[in-house]
A and B are shown apart, each in its own frame.
Chain A
Amino acid sequence: GIQVEQSPPDLILQEGANSTLRCNFSDSVNNLQWFHQNPWGQLINLFYIPSGTKQNGRLSATTVATERYSLLYISSSQTTDSGVYFCAVLRVGEKLTFGTGTRLTIIP
């Protein structure tokens, strides 16, 4: 099946800093999505982004499908951005596959 790798596994930043999280996948995919899991375990959809760029407030995401990666950008980080960020990919005929996540900690 398709392999999904996220980097870095852990990231600690000062409040106000910018960050870039990466998701690499081993084969072409039909769909890709980013999720955030806060420190209390709640999961939230961030973006559906099989290709191109999307922005939502301080967050934006870019997927370059031909090069098999996606990037999640967080600008002006806030403590509420802390948690684990997952990407998930779907290739037709295969299972939805999640990456192992990037744990982001924003220090006040």
Chain B
Amino acid sequence: DAGVIQSPRHEVTEMGQEVTLRCKPISGHNSLFWYRQTMMRGLELLIYFNNNVPIDDSGMPEDRFSAKMPNASFSTLKIQPSEPRDSAVYFCASSPGTGSIIRDEQYFGPGTRLTVT
């Protein structure tokens, strides 16, 4: 298996633009997680899905952020409009388990480094 695939690996955009990050989980995994990592705030769980259904989105910072999982093999994280403080590395992870966000082993993608100027 190719592991969790994220695209793009790097994204540079201007403030106010829409940004879409993409994630393909490992085939057969039924839980998917989006994380953000910054120097100031460290690692944060933004949202996670189980069987394509959002279970907990309490980590989504504000309404400018939205995430979807239209099917078991694809998820997007969208920021509209983007702001410089959104600059971060965004990780996607998947796990084969029941949606327990900490019991099940998670497999991480390589991350997308987002820079908003």
The chain A residues found within 8 Å of chain B, CB to CB, are 31-33, 41-45, 48, 86, 88, 90, 95-96, 98-101
Contacts and interface: CB of A to CB of B under 8 A. Distances in A.
A41 B102 contact: no
A18 B3 CA distance: 31
A42 B44 CA distance: 15
Interface in B20-35: none
Given A44-B108, A95-B45, A95-B59, A31 B103 contact: yes
B4 to A, nearest CB: 10
Contacts, number: 40
B58 interface: yes
Size category of the binding interface on chain B: 20 to 34
A43 B103 contact: no
Contacts of A100: 42
Contacts of B100: 31
Nearest to B45: A96
Nearest to A99: B42
